[in-house]
Amino acid sequence: MTERRTSPIGNRRAVTLRGRPELYTDYATDQAMLNTPAKRAWTALLVVGLLAAPFFLGRDLTSLLTTVFIFGIGAIGLNLVTGYAGQVSLGHAFFVGLGAYTAAFVGNEPTGSLRGLGLELWVWLPLAGLVPAVVGFLVAPIAARVRGLYLAILTLGLVFIGDHVFKEARTFTGGPGVGRRAAAPIVGGLDLSRRQEFFGVTFEGADLFYLLCFVLLLVAAVLARNLARSKAGRAFAAVRDRDIAAEVMGVPLTRTKVLAFTISSFYAGVCGGLLAITYGVIEPASFDLLLSVDFLAMILIGGVATISGSLAGAAFVVLLPRLVQTYAHYVPGISRGSTGDGLLTVFQFEGLLFGALIVAFIVLEPRGLYGLWLRVRNYWKAWPFSY
């Protein structure tokens, strides 16, 4: 059974089959960013809801959602190089840390032995992305020579090199145990981390920073989605699926991998600059291997090679600890604090649950939360004939 409807791009007519949401007979419809009325409507509702959220939520939940947005930017960056281009990277934490310290150096005034430039956000945030992007551009040709497990180990080395550099470059980082204050989000003399008034409406600092991070996440997601649909994105997928065949077809392997690493490092740097503000004070231990594992978990749980999966994974990883701490006392044998009479503390239970979910998603649904959403959506689209 078929139905005809107007394509969202231009006046061309597209034919879709009822109950076959992924089957398009029109190339423009297939490539459109939001190619169905339902996607456009739900996306608009979600954007409006998230814009209004800080006016109804408490400061604690607002800060938690802000952290989700920031990690979402970093997860999109890792998904570009690992999910779309197939280059497994364990060095994401190094680029996040490099972005955080670049932002702190450019955004803070010099104090004592610490150096700084004291510039505003519109300067330090782009530089927080550009400096890691340049480092990623320099490292990428070496990383492009290996693949698979060797590439993962090579990028893991970046985390250890970064840890040493962050500890020893004390005039820039403050060193271990001391750290350095994050750059303030000041734009045009207005500190977005403090209460401000615009057009007679008073905004709390947490709300302003929330809105800033949300807008940056939207921009990052749209740019990444467009990149995935472009010639470069097609080259990423070709290299990921079969690099030798891609090279035979004329795809430059080294150039494609370098581009993926560079863009991914830029996203990681921007994420680091914003993440430092949520930390308040940053030190080298904040950007260790566990942070890289967290980012990998985000794209594995959310969905590899999908932008929406990156965002879902970031939300899942950031919100899971809060949900566990809130509801763990309903589970027998779980104590509320770090010590207690239960079989497990809430933190031990959180770690076990986190690991079990990663294993479950890899074994049962490799497409992650995005794959689960596709199953649910396709089931109800074809209901009651869902077989």
- If pLDDT is split at 50, 70 and 90, which confidence band does 9 have? very low
Cα radius of gyration rounded to whole Å, the chain: 22
Stretch 311-320: mean pLDDT: 93
pTM for the complete prediction? 0.89
Whole-number pLDDT of residue 387 = 60
Nearest-angstrom CA–CA distance, 14 and 318 = 40
Length of the chain counted residue by residue: 387
- If pLDDT is split at 50, 70 and 90, which confidence band does 192 have? confident
Instruction: Report yes or no: 297 and 121 within 8 Å, Cβ to Cβ.
Output: no
- Position 198, amino acid: F
Of 208, 186, 182, 184, the closest CA to residue 195 belongs to: 208
| pLDDT digits 0-9 by tens, 200-245 | 788 888 999 999 999 999 999 999 999 998 999 999 999 999 989 9
pLDDT at 5 over 70: no
- DSSP per residue, 235-293: HHHHHHH-HHHHHHTT--HHHHHHHHHHHHHHHHHHHHHHHHHHHSEE-GGGGSHHHHH
| pLDDT digits 0-9 by tens, 35-48 | 778 888 999 999 99
